[in-house]
Chain A
Amino acid sequence: MSALLEITDLNVHFATPDGDVHAVKNASLSISESECLGIVGESGSGKSQLFLAAFGLLAGNGRASGSVKYRGREILGAPTPQLNTLRGSAVTMIFQDPLTSLTPHMKIGAQIMEALVLHRNVSREEARIRAREMLDYVRIPESAQRMRQYPHELSGGMRQRVMIAMATITGPDLIIADEPTTALDVTVQAQILEILRSLKQDRKTAIALVSHDMGVIAGLADRVQVMRYGEIVESGPVDDVFYAPRHDYTRMLLDAIPKAGEMPAPVTAVGAPLLTVDDLQVSFPVKEKGLFGKTRTLRAVDGISFTLHQGETLGVVGESGCGKSTLARAVLQLLPKTGGRVVWLGRDLDTATQNDIRKLRQDFQIVFQDPLASLDPRMPVGVSIAEPLKALEPHLTGETVRERARGIMQRVGLDPAWINRYPHELSGGQNQRVGLARAMIVNPQMLVCDEAVSALDVSIQAQIVALIRDLQAETRMSLIFISHDLSVVRRLSHRVMVLYLGRVVEMAPSEALYADPRHPYTRALLSAVLTPDPRAERARKRELLTGDLPSPLDPKAQLSFLASKLDQPGYRPKLIEVAPGHFAAEHD
């Protein structure tokens, strides 16, 4: 087979204020017609820059050298007009984060048509028809209407479909998909990968699939190259790389992915319930569009009850918009609830004053998702870590506080000498350790981790999860571990609660839930989880949910899995105990 794209000894340098950064080092690769090449690597490995450099899309301070041949013709450093005959026409790109990668003030239709009109010399009328066909192809319903919408009016999954439609409309030979499913919900990720698979199979499009996620690569790629610190450390057919990795780094990446069978330490001597949440409700007023639009109530948390015991980990799983973060914040009294009760060690928190709650915060702490954004950028990390201790135990001397801060830094794997560093000087994983240290310094009895590892690279993620588990074993604290990622939740949780639109659809001991999911939504979630096992992924039949999550404002949304009760709009599916300790919501 002839090579479509052949990159030889590509080097990319960036001139930065801190000196020269050698982002890609002597990278070579080739992609044949209708082949899918997977490029795996963690953030900063240069995997995206490699392809941006190849097509002259580097930022202004970047330089590329080496050779890039497209169908035998050298294109590296070619003048822009010449590259423009290729870009968007024969070679197209799908980027991560479709919200920022689509022009915010341009209608979807116009953005999709643009490349077609430019490269294929078709009339606007014809382009419009083709654009609608593309929207249908990527399974966007009501395509005529969508054409007139702006990117911010669509959901994340829809926007990524628009990106794909945009990249496919000119019928390219090669699509470069740069982290196409990162930051999407698992069920949406499965749908997007399905579309990419059909592009490869039906349209014979070659795909360069760039991802940090071995699971994404496993199901789609024919060959895989692993990148680390700008170098390609391993390459080979997908089965060889996954089943017989030769490089340590590849092995490490594969090992970092949570697998079935790993279970947290069992809860010993379950004491009295630490936290009881009873029929908790949180709703927000949402103003309808239009000037005299009426205000409607969005029930973000719509009657959730659970009990958390000492030393226990409760996993909370659900997709974006299911209310998992709102639940965490309401339980921790960071958000006002609209109904229900939160009982902490036998005390109804409704009876506590603001000052009582402030003191109680010593016992329940939280770690947030985005480690960099949730730390004060103008505060040295040592001060951030010590602050809760100073606020909650004001009698301590400055020396004791500093001592405790250094101690906890050491415990979470941070060099205590970094006490005066600022968050921007640390990596994402290190900042999340700071977040953990800040929460753990007051020795809480309960720690809530709200997507605490979601923004981290897999290898770092594995380290942080191990750290949380060790801390729990030492302190016997309870954990509420919130994540959209079922495999991470599985690693830590004794019990798992699955949320759907603000309600529990299933709650069960971890092993029961993963082995025998009873609710169709749980089954769909589990079936969407990717495993780093190419053979299993290729063979796999998925239970795909179609379309997006319904709007939580839609009164019928709660009955998505209970169509037989659709004639009773206010009806809420009840939780039924299907096995000891295993509850599932009513469904058809």
Chain B
Amino acid sequence: MLQLFNWLIKTFPSLASHQELTAFVLFIILGLLVLTFAAVVAGSLTYFERKVAARIQSRMGPIEIGLGGYIQWVADAIKLLLKEDIIPENVDKILFRLAPYFAFLGAGLTYLVLPFSEKLILADLNVGVLYFLAVSSITVIGILMAGWASYNKWSLIGGIRSAAQIVSYEIPSALAVLPVVLYAGSLSTQDVVRAQAGWAGFHWMIFQNPFIFISFFVFFISMLAENNRIPFDLPEAESELVAGYNTEYSGMRFAMFFLAEYSNVFILSAFAVTLFLGGWQPLFGLSLKIPGTAVDLWKLFSFFFKTSIMVFLVLTIRWTLPRVRIDQLMGLCWKYLVPIAFFDLFGVMFWMVL
């Protein structure tokens, strides 16, 4: 971001006298870009999810609206935007209105440190990985707020379940990231990706060390649980709670929750790729002779290709596995994932010292 600012000042000397204004406009434009990107990714993911679900269940999925169903998600978004905004009688009106934004804030802020390519990152914070772990926990406040403000027992139970689940699973996911940070020697997401340079993926974090290989699965499972995906979607289990914390929501506010949920699917896959699977490190190394500017595009493509595969995996898990029970959920976290994560951490430490 700072580089872009300096480049702008250098290229257009007339801007130098209005630095404050330039910075302000730049912030606004970049913020809007991130929001647009998040919305487009989340929207197209809903289409992708319905197609995957349909294939797994031998159905067709959306095929009617425009271009053989490809723009179904645009139609869905427009429909949700145009719906009446219903606020039930007894809800806590301020909190009810605020909750969807908090739910999205946790997902939206993580885009800041996501390295799409070597040069394409909003802010290369030197505490990037920690920042990702920190801001992704804001979502739970939005969910608790929605659950309480709805004035509805199912919503409240959904919210409380979600809080218990997210607070518990934050521990194994953070512990599973630590080995990667130790190996890369930096908390910056760009440095973590740079540490994975090498030919054809043999230098990806996941293959560097058997303990990190296990850590990857701990991270993946606990991220699934943190984002309330099936098999861990107890906060909105339809068979037990009507729809969990978003029961009372409709129209655009409901869409905000889904924007947050699908952004989280993308973020979960993107960070699994960044931390463990090489990030934007080009696939097949750079043994392919490609000209200078195409390298950046190839890196961008590598990142999105790997992320798409991870997204597909997450969706497949959702449509092929049954939901776990709440005691199994907590047992999995505290009895299996946390000890395994600690074991991995110590294993990596010994590996690095010896």
Our verdict on whether A and B bind, yes or no, reads no
Which residues of A are interface residues toward B (Cβ below 8 A)?
A: none
Which residues of B are interface residues toward A (Cβ below 8 A)?
A: none
